[in-house]
Amino acid sequence: MHNHTAVGAKTLELTATACLFRASSTYLLTDMDAVEEIKSRLNIEDVIGEYVELKRAGRNFKGLSPFTSEKSASFMVSPEKGIWHDFSSGKGGNVFSFIMELEGLEFKEALELLARKANVDLEQFRGSRGGGNGKLKERLYAANEMACKFYQVQFSKNQVALEYVFKKRQFTKETALEFRLGYAPNNGSALIDYLKKQGFTEKELTQAGLTAKRYRGGIQDMFRGRLMVALQDQQGRVIGFTARLLDDDPNAPKYLNTPQTLLYDKSRHVYGLHLAKDSLRRDGFAVLVEGNLDVIASHQVGVKNVVATAGTALTEMHLKTISRFTGDLRLAFDQDKAGIAATERAIPIASKVGVKLNIISIPEGKDPDELIKKDKSLWDQAIENPQYAIDWVIDQYAQRLDLEKAPDKREFSDVTLAVVRQLPDSVEQDHYTQKIAKILGVSPDAIASKLKEAPKARVSRKQQTRKEVVVDQHLLERKKLQDQVLAIGLMRPGIRGELKDVNEKSLPEEPARQLLAYLLDHPDFDGKLAGQQELKDITEYIKIVSLQYEALYQDLDDVQLQQELKRQRNRLQEQYIKTRKAEISRLLHDADDAEIAVLLSEVKDLDAQLKTLL
């Protein structure tokens, strides 16, 4: 391609999306802590869902564009990547860029709005320019990591803990290492003494959740004489511990968890997710058990799409975290009254989040660990044959009550209709109204009437926000072609060589030009962003491009994609030539003789290039 300098030509204006990337990147350099804290607390699908009615489409969500009047949904949100893209307007970005676009805010204003939604106090980040909360978090991560290693060493020396793990639980050495099992000595301050020697202060250890107050003043180790199970975030970083009692002490709790800290929030943390997330995507469903040790037992026998919410009831945030990887959740809870109650609480939460909820029935009242020890195939069979949660609840009450007696009939209808009443879908409500009527031997009208006696609070249907924007159709077309060309080149290294004929000037956005240059310099780049410092300023753009690849091209083979890339590349260059010639036509009106000569020469070259494309 020829490189021409157009005298007096204005630089093409970057599109709104590119400007958003630049604005957010600049701010992130100075206030990364606040931005990352807000992102960690807010689900992008929840924020956008306040403006756009979203429906699940595999791992992503789709809806009608809030920027155009499209009739077919082409607005996509990826919870996993934390980004959105609107195919009709060509806009895209993260949760901040969405609020900026739709609310017409500057980045700082969007940050403050989202901070309020996330209940984040920005002052704690602005109070210190020396690193703020970020530095404290790193210290707490370091303290927990060192504590974990300390516990692992102590575990190797304690016979009681070794026998419990390897003989009673029948875990292997590899499993113990993978899940970072350890032992907390029972001498009061062994961990504190060790970590203080490593440079940690008592305040830091308390903030990390590793200490407890003594009755007579001072602090002691939070965990003593217990088997230690490391709690790790989605990146595998240690954020806390679950500690299991090894002695038979009826006055001591069987399990202790790290208290709420800056790193650990029991209402959000999903145990084992860092090891299970790939299996969740691959298998298409998640199994949720009650105990950490059940997770470990299942992973050891190769069933790795198993996680837990150890030590706390299932929350909306747990389900939202899991739903980022799959919309199919199967609960393996105890089959007792507590298990039924937990399931009843989970049903409306699952409906709200948009997760399909099923129940795994474990034979003979065993827990997953016991079933796996008996016969791993029984665990496989139980997982593969779940029952829809509402049907399971109905069956449980039908087995426990004498439905020949009027009081039990009343109780049965009370408890089952309380669940049905929370279903958002009227067809599903009608289905279970008829099923309950059939089980009780009464008319469906009687059950329908009772269902209406205590109706759930009416929720006004969300009014989808429409903010019409003027769209430059020529620029939009170039942006679409630009993204599609780079999507193929990014995700299919085998045909990346075709990018060498892409004219950098034909790309209307700066992030796209940066990505093109990087791909040409790194022909073997596999598309993974981890550790790629050169790409940190265009990370969001790369995520958007990869989302478009998933939506448009992932099912095509290399031959088809190579043809598509060539076709889109040529269309992109054609659009650029037409746009540039129109711009030159405007510039000629005010150009002097020397400038006119340069501009006309460029037009001649552009015409020659255009002929090769037609």
Per-residue model confidence as pLDDT tens digits over 47-85:
999 999 999 988 899 999 988 888 888 899 999 889 999
- C-alpha dist (Å) from residue 161 to 164, 226, 238, 272: 5, 8, 21, 21
Residue 459 pLDDT > 50, yes or no? no
> Of residues 613 and 377, which shows the higher confidence score?
377
Whole-number pLDDT of residue 48: 94
Whole-number pLDDT of residue 26: 40
Whole-number pLDDT of residue 124: 72
Q: Which amino acid is at 102?
A: L
Tokens of 493: 């290294």
Residue whose C-alpha is closest to residue 329's, from 339, 320, 342? 320
Q: Compute the C-alpha angle 286/291/294, nearest 5°.
A: 70
CATH hierarchy code of domain 136-257: 3.90.980.10
Say which range, 246-255, 450-459, 538-547, has the weakest mean pLDDT. Answer: 450-459
Helix H or strand E encompassing 369: helix 368-374
Residue whose C-alpha is closest to residue 297's, from 226, 220, 378, 194? 378
CA–CA distance, 425 with 351 (Å, rounded to integer): 9
CA–CA distance, 447 with 449 (Å, rounded to integer): 5
Looking at residue 390, the DSSP 8-state letter turns out to be: H
Whole-number pLDDT of residue 225: 94
Cβ neighbors of 436 (< 8 A, separation 6 or more) are 394, 412, 413, 416, 417, 420, 447
| pTM for this prediction | 0.62
CA–CA distance, 301 with 165 (Å, rounded to integer): 15
> Of residues 121 and 457, which shows the higher confidence score?
121
Mean pLDDT value of segment 395-423: 89
Most confident of 154-158, 417-421, 609-613: 154-158
Domain 16-126 class in CATH: alpha beta
Mean pLDDT value of segment 236-251: 90
Q: What is the pLDDT of residues 126-173, one digit of tens each?
A: 654 444 566 888 899 999 999 999 999 999 999 999 999 999 999 999
CA–CA distance, 55 with 255 (Å, rounded to integer): 39
State the pLDDT confidence band at 530, using cuts at 50, 70 and 90.
confident
**What is the per-residue DSSP string for 306-325?**
EEE-TTS---HHHHHHHHTT
- C-alpha dist (Å) from residue 325 to 39, 128, 281, 282, 355: 17, 36, 6, 9, 11
Domain residue spans of the chain: 16-126, 136-257, 273-400, 473-526+533-613
pLDDT averaged over every residue in the chain: 84
Cβ neighbors of 592 (< 8 A, separation 6 or more) are none
> Of residues 226 and 334, which shows the higher confidence score?
226
Residue 504 pLDDT > 80, yes or no? yes
CA–CA distance, 247 with 261 (Å, rounded to integer): 27
Fold of 273-400: Dna Topoisomerase Vi A Subunit; Chain: A, domain 2 (3.40.1360)
Q: Strand, coil or helix: what is 98?
A: helix
Residue 304 pLDDT > 90, yes or no? yes
* Widest CA span in the chain: 102
CA–CA distance, 279 with 284 (Å, rounded to integer): 8
Whole-number pLDDT of residue 462: 43
Instruction: Report the first-to-last Cα separation within the chain, whole angstroms.
Output: 16
Say which range, 295-304, 463-472, 477-486, has the weakest mean pLDDT. Answer: 463-472
State the pLDDT confidence band at 17, using cuts at 50, 70 and 90.
very low
State the pLDDT confidence band at 325, using cuts at 50, 70 and 90.
confident
Tokens of 116: 């309020």
State the pLDDT confidence band at 468, using cuts at 50, 70 and 90.
very low
Q: Are 110 and 99 in contact (CB under 8 A)?
A: yes
State the pLDDT confidence band at 335, using cuts at 50, 70 and 90.
confident
Mean pLDDT value of segment 328-335: 88
Residue 251 pLDDT > 70, yes or no? yes
Whole-number pLDDT of residue 581: 87
Say which range, 60-69, 329-338, 445-454, 465-474, has the weakest mean pLDDT. Answer: 465-474
State how beta strands 387-388 and 75-78 pair: unpaired
Whole-number pLDDT of residue 169: 93
- CA 20 remoteness from chain centre: 22
Say which range, 117-126, 219-228, 496-505, 574-583, has the weakest mean pLDDT. Answer: 117-126
